[in-house]
Amino acid sequence: MSEDIFITEERIEGADDGPLAGRTVAVKDNISTEGVRTTCGSKMLAEYVPPYDATVVERLKDAGATIVGKANMDEFGMGTTTETSHFGATDNPAAPGHVPGGSSGGSAAAVAAGEADLALGSDTGGSVRCPAAFCGVVGIKPTYGLVSRYGLVAYGNSLEQIGPFGETVADAAELLDVIAGSDERDATTREAPLEAGETYVDAATGDVDGLSIGVPTELLEGADEGVVETFWDAIADLEDRGAEYHEVSLPSVEHAVEAYYVIAMSEASSNLARFDGVRYGQSGGYDGNWNETFAKAREEGFGDEVKRRILLGTYALSAGYHDKYYKKAQDARAWVKQDFDEALDGADVLASPTMPVPPFELGESLDDPLQLYLADANTVPVNLADLPAISVPAGETDGLPVGLQLIGPAFGERRLIRAASALA
């Protein structure tokens, strides 16, 4: 594979028939597949073969889908470019020489390159929507609790959801129909709020007549000019079809990036404590005491970005700093939720560019972690607020894909699917 889309290319056949019979699906490599290695893009888990399927993988198989491979990703989902993968960077099929976005870059690239009809990714702070935008495909980040996380290797578990990719909104919605719904193995899930006979895919009618769109001005500030221009063209397109827009203000989102990173890093420092090289993963050997061997396993098994986040998370939770960082970040999270609730009282959906910038060139952005974190400004507020969002292709700037993000109320996926399907 010239684009380095898959970490492991192996076919897993599903049931003979079902709603996804004949459809191929790429699965992000942090979603457990029984008998097929699941690396999380990390040297730590380079040989790890899960003894069970994630709930979403069980549902794919039951629906008749054929899994074609485990898609490349930023190590443990930590990145915006897929360049932190231990297995090398993925090229962007829609913009060769550029990153596919991340962290679910392989999943989006698989759909963009036609290597799979559909794909699954996971979105902790934008990791489905960013690569969807950069690769010119559709990606959905479901409401927290709509899709089971059982078998998803945890990074920031209060923030993340598994989400579908497709070439069109209807494709992604079809996959959402298969994976959504409660799971007794994930107590944070609930049943999809659909009326009898209703599905997500049948909401993809493209009907936006009378739709009220709020545009948060904070999410346009500082964005690339070409991106903003493409965004307004897409809004104008929706207006032509009967939608109307008005500007709204979300003052809290000015603090969303720092709140997100404090919470995600704190959760990561705890979740990744399980990687000690004893039950699975890179071993630190058996010389010396356990603190020494665990520290050695983790030095050898983790890459830079993962170490950075574990250390900063440990720092943010340590004695004397907890109130200053973690507690304030939780305040900011509550504030962001309130802001979104108020804005969505006056609008059906909110719209922004998915990413404030077009895809970076490969290798361009690795040296300055903080600058890269700031590129997540438009996606992380949605995870803090537990809301659903969709990224849909809006057009191009200088030949590079631009994504439009629509954000809806909790469990309002049908509304997002209807609105976004007017564009793709």
Partner 1 sequence: MSDDAVSPEEVRHVAELARVDLADEEVDRFTGQFADILEYFETLDEVPAVDRDADLANVMRPDEERTSLDSEDALRNAPETEDGYFKGPNVS
Other residues' Cβ atoms within 10 Å of the Cβ of residue 169: 27
Whichever of 177 and 339 has its CB closer to partner 1, that residue is: 339
Give the integer Cα–Cα distance in Å for 134 and 108. Answer: 9
Which region, left, alpha or beta, applies to residue 387 given φ > 0 means left and ψ of -120 to 50 means alpha? Answer: beta
Whichever of 2 and 289 has its CB closer to partner 1, that residue is: 289
Contact, 139 vs 172, CB < 8 A?
A: yes
Minimum distance from residue 339 beta carbon to partner 1 (Å): 10
Whichever of 170 and 257 has its CB closer to partner 1, that residue is: 257
Contact, 402 vs 133, CB < 8 A?
A: yes
Whichever of 15 and 273 has its CB closer to partner 1, that residue is: 273
Element at 112 (helix H, strand E): helix 105-112
Of 83, 66, 357, 370, which is closest to residue 225 (Cα–Cα)?
357
CB-side neighbour CA atoms (13 Å) of 421? 21
Of 73, 62, 118, which is closest to residue 99 (Cα–Cα)?
73
The Cα angle at residue 378 between residues 102 and 89, in degrees rounded to 5: 15
Tell me the CA distances in angstroms from 423 to 173, 198, 205, 221, 294, one per residue in order.
14, 22, 11, 24, 50
Whichever of 34 and 202 has its CB closer to partner 1, that residue is: 34
Q: Is 296 a catalytic residue?
A: no
Contact, 178 vs 59, CB < 8 A?
A: yes
Residues near 289 by beta carbon (within 8 Å), at least 6 away in sequence: none
**Token duo for residue 424:** 């793709």
Minimum distance from residue 107 beta carbon to partner 1 (Å): 24
Q: Is 318 a catalytic residue?
A: no
Q: Is 103 a catalytic residue?
A: yes
Element at 402 (helix H, strand E): strand 400-407
Whichever of 207 and 254 has its CB closer to partner 1, that residue is: 254
406-410 contact pairs (CB < 8 A, 24+):
406/213, 406/349, 406/350, 406/351, 407/340, 407/344, 407/349, 407/350, 407/351, 407/352, 407/382, 408/344, 408/348, 408/349, 408/350, 409/344, 410/143, 410/386
Whichever of 204 and 306 has its CB closer to partner 1, that residue is: 306
Catalytic: which of 127, 252, 352, 391? Answer: 127
Minimum distance from residue 194 beta carbon to partner 1 (Å): 20
Minimum distance from residue 266 beta carbon to partner 1 (Å): 11
Minimum distance from residue 255 beta carbon to partner 1 (Å): 5
Minimum distance from residue 314 beta carbon to partner 1 (Å): 4
**Which positions touch partner 1 (CB under 8 A)?**
47-49, 51-52, 184, 187-188, 252, 255, 257-259, 261-262, 269, 273, 276-281, 283-296, 298-299, 302, 304, 307-308, 310-312, 314-316, 318, 324-325, 328-332, 334-335, 338, 369-370, 373
Give the integer Cα–Cα distance in Å for 49 and 336. Answer: 39
Tell me the CA distances in angstroms from 399 to 8, 63, 150, 358, one per residue in order.
30, 37, 39, 10
Minimum distance from residue 117 beta carbon to partner 1 (Å): 31
Active-site positions read 28, 103, 127
